[in-house]
Structure 1
Amino acid sequence: MPAPDFHLPFFDAALAGLPAVSAQAPEHDEAFWSAVAALYRTSHATANLENGFWGVMAEPVRQAFMRWTERVNFENTLMIREGWPSAMAAIRQRVAAALGCEPEEIALTRGATESMLALISGYNRLQPGDTVLYADLDYPAMRNAMAWLRERRGVLPVRLEIPEPASRENVLATYADALRQHPRTRLLLLTHLSHSTGLVMPVRELSEMARAAGAEAIVDAAHSWGQLDFDVADLGAPYAAFNLHKWVGAPLGCGCLYIRKGSLAAIDPYFGDRDHPADDVRSRIHTGSPNFAAWLSIPAALQLHQRIGASAKQARLRSLRDHWVQQVRGLPGLEILTPDQPGMAAGITSLRFSGRGSAAENQAIVAALHEQHGVFTVWRNGPARGDVVRVTPAIYTSRAELDRLVAGLRALLN
């Protein structure tokens, strides 16, 4: 059976209806973003500003997913046993092209967490007594895995605290100081875009800093791909993990890991994998049976992502973030956790009411915004100075919905 044909005429028709976006100020081209918003079928009864968990599929992608679900269910193993290897090869090529790397450098996974845990647990260049560094803004599962390396490899895990307020300069200084204090650092966990505060880390400079100190970096890019415009080479790191089901807009259960050519030997085969040769990146992760229809929908999600444009999405999300942040920054009793400095923020930004850093206090703020003002946000922990409320617009979020957040915050502060 030949590989499935990814060409879907109805999908092409939906994308053909999108106008061209303004090249000068894409973030303010409201006609374009209205057309983009029309591709998403979501409830607006509540202003949903919690779009960081996963990304809603646009209707053309959802329809593609349903088509693939029906076909996989109808043809079942006749399709998968014979057609899956060639389908996987084609999907892998498209994902690699979108990331700006070679297909041989990536393996598809069910998400960035699965990818990161495989990379961290499989890293074999650690000796007892070596140091591994991670930060308070890293994702909890990754922080746990770095701490677990004490049991696995006999290393010293060291947690850094990212300064508040953060800036490019003090973030770089924090890591430089840690590397000086811990000369046996051999592994550095970096999060490109923090899930808790939205801080965009200068990962390229930090990766180079680590390399100069004799260490290597593993980059968690779960939130950055699709929210920021970059290629994998821009990270400057030999290992990274990505989601396709957040900001790229694929169905849930789609991600990949990246291992730069020449760096594969530093990651052990996954539980002694023998399904692939030892020099094949796919031997570094074993996912079992994925959601076949979800993975078959990845080309459609990438096509829409590229049609809208990564740079346009980045500009729009930063503009939506700035729209509400500029109205409330400086209000007495309110802390904005992400700086306005260029390159240090994207769409996600978190806030904290001064002196209210506990889980219960932030959960109460989330509940009040939802119940009293019709705005849905989420509580996040991790930052050393206290928990936060995370605000995450999507590309289809309206400025009016963000104004509801501003009004709600003003009312709660008063």
Structure 2
Amino acid sequence: MRGLYAVTPDVVNLENGYWGIMAEPVRREFIRQTDMINYENTCYVRQRSAGDFEGVRTKVAEAVGAAVDEIALTRGATEALQLLIGGYNKLRPGDAVLYADLDYDSMQYAMNALKACRGVDVVKFNVPESATQQAVLDAYARALEVTPKTRVLLLTHVSNRTGLVLPVAEIVRMAKAKGIDTIVDAAHSWGQLDFKVSDLGADFVGFNLHKWIGAPIGVGFLYIRKERLADIDRDMGDEDFPEVDIRSRVHTGTVNFATVLTVPAALALHQEIGAAAKQARLRYLRDYWVTRVRSFKDIVILTPDEAGSYGAITSFRLAGKTSKADNDAVVAQLRDSYKVLTVRRAGVAKGQCIRVTPALYTEEADLDRLVEALAVVTDTKAG
């Protein structure tokens, strides 16, 4: 796996949750497509790009297990989810929308904006830390019970803050039983976990292709179950496509053509490696370092070890160190003294934390360096 990636030797990069670097075959294809676009320019775009883009959309739909008319390409999961949240047209004044502390910041902003533009009440609640799957289910059940006017629930499959994998299908069923629609944020899950969109049970989902699938930066897609298309408005009154075409729900103007044209190469490599194999490897790498540091002095692992509750991402903090300054200091120490790159994450109800995200190219020796650094940071060896 390491041979598929060209990675800087100057630092151990354990901040792969931002986006996934392209494997070398994908990078070479991106350069080839970039050169072609620059060379042929609008001669290509005006004559052939529409058919090629439709081919890309078809490959994405097949890979995620959806019909092609349920898929529209976007510039990422953030754009996809903003369009789903902002375009959902069944809300009425007095309704409520619900989200949790572990949901992504941009999606929280989009939910908050519904108060002004739709006249709804916006309710936020906290997911337990560190949670079992049952505790998460109980927390969502309580939130839905105490907010009976909820019409839309935002639900994140894999939290960018802690890496917690939520029992999405069960929560979606719970919500549907109460007549509540769920918009699922799958930005971090597809490619990190082995699943198809039908496994989620949700009618509205936003995905990334530049994280765990490994396409170039700037591409994702949204999914709307075909029977629900009318419940999402056209994007800014789009008239490029018929109202019955899901592509009318996205209007972004000129995109990076080479990025989109490289998606099939990323999907091909993803499928060659195998989703199940990727999931197993990423979980192995996560377990490799977590099992070694759980007993360290004053270290608090936020992500549970329960099967089905994690993938590659796990976050930690030092006991009692919950501020931005506290966690920035640890991130800086790991980076500057040990050449290990991590990232601080805010927004968790019980305090800020540090996210560790290995990638497929990560080796055990990389994680050994993290473990050795944390032993010093926590003064475990001295203790």
Q: TM-score range by the shorter chain?
A: over 0.9
2:167 to 178, 202, 210: 202
Tell me the CA shift for residue 278 of structure 1. Answer: 0.7
Residue-pair matches, total: 379
Q: 2:19 aligns to what? A: 54
Tell me the CA shift for residue 330 of structure 1. Answer: 2.9
Q: 2:346 aligns to what? A: 381
* C-alpha distance in structure 2 between counterparts of 1:71 and 1:62, whole Å: 14
Tell me the CA shift for residue 250 of structure 1. Answer: 0.4
In structure 1, runs of 5+ residues without a counterpart are: 1-35
Tell me the CA shift for residue 396 of structure 1. Answer: 0.6
* C-alpha distance in structure 2 between counterparts of 1:286 and 1:357, whole Å: 41
- The alignment partner of 2:48 has SS state of helix
- Structure-to-structure mapping, 1:8-407, within 5 angstroms: 36-407=1-372
Tell me the CA shift for residue 372 of structure 1. Answer: 1.0
* C-alpha distance in structure 2 between counterparts of 1:348 and 1:115, whole Å: 22
Tell me the CA shift for residue 225 of structure 1. Answer: 0.8
* C-alpha distance in structure 2 between counterparts of 1:109 and 1:144, whole Å: 19
Deviations 1:195-245 (A, max 9, x none): 010000111001111111110000000010100000000111000011110
- The alignment partner of 1:38 has SS state of helix
Give the % identical residues.
55
Amino acid at match of 1:229: D
* C-alpha distance in structure 1 between counterparts of 2:286 and 2:192, whole Å: 12
* C-alpha distance in structure 2 between counterparts of 1:251 and 1:75, whole Å: 20
* C-alpha distance in structure 2 between counterparts of 1:307 and 1:79, whole Å: 30
Amino acid at match of 1:239: F
- The alignment partner of 2:210 has SS state of coil
- The alignment partner of 1:256 has SS state of strand
- The alignment partner of 2:37 has SS state of helix
Name segments (4+ residues, structure 1) moved above 6 Å: none
Amino acid at match of 1:40: Y
Q: 1:18 aligns to what? A: none
* C-alpha distance in structure 2 between counterparts of 1:156 and 1:396, whole Å: 44
Deviations 1:68-94 (A, max 9, x none): 001111000000101011101110100
- The alignment partner of 1:257 has SS state of strand
* C-alpha distance in structure 1 between counterparts of 2:270 and 2:343, whole Å: 26
* C-alpha distance in structure 2 between counterparts of 1:406 and 1:397, whole Å: 14
In structure 2, runs of 5+ residues without a counterpart are: none
Tell me the CA shift for residue 150 of structure 1. Answer: 0.7
Amino acid at match of 1:361: D
Amino acid at match of 1:180: E
* C-alpha distance in structure 1 between counterparts of 2:102 and 2:117, whole Å: 23
* C-alpha distance in structure 2 between counterparts of 1:152 and 1:311, whole Å: 42
Deviations 1:27-71 (A, max 9, x none): xxxxxxxxx210101112211100011111011110100110011
Q: 2:374 aligns to what? A: 409
Deviations 1:154-187 (A, max 9, x none): 1111111010111101100001011111111110
* C-alpha distance in structure 2 between counterparts of 1:225 and 1:165, whole Å: 23
Amino acid at match of 1:110: R
Deviations 1:365-409 (A, max 9, x none): 000001111111001111010011000000010011101111111
What's the C-alpha RMSD, in Å, of the aligned pairs?
A: 0.7
* C-alpha distance in structure 1 between counterparts of 2:93 and 2:375, whole Å: 52
* C-alpha distance in structure 2 between counterparts of 1:402 and 1:273, whole Å: 48
Deviations 1:111-149 (A, max 9, x none): 000000000000111111111110100000001111111
- The alignment partner of 2:4 has SS state of coil
Tell me the CA shift for residue 410 of structure 1. Answer: 1.0
TM-score (norm 1): 0.91
- The alignment partner of 2:22 has SS state of coil
Amino acid at match of 1:393: P
Tell me the CA shift for residue 261 of structure 1. Answer: 1.3
Amino acid at match of 1:350: S
Amino acid at match of 1:273: D
* C-alpha distance in structure 1 between counterparts of 2:137 and 2:368, whole Å: 34
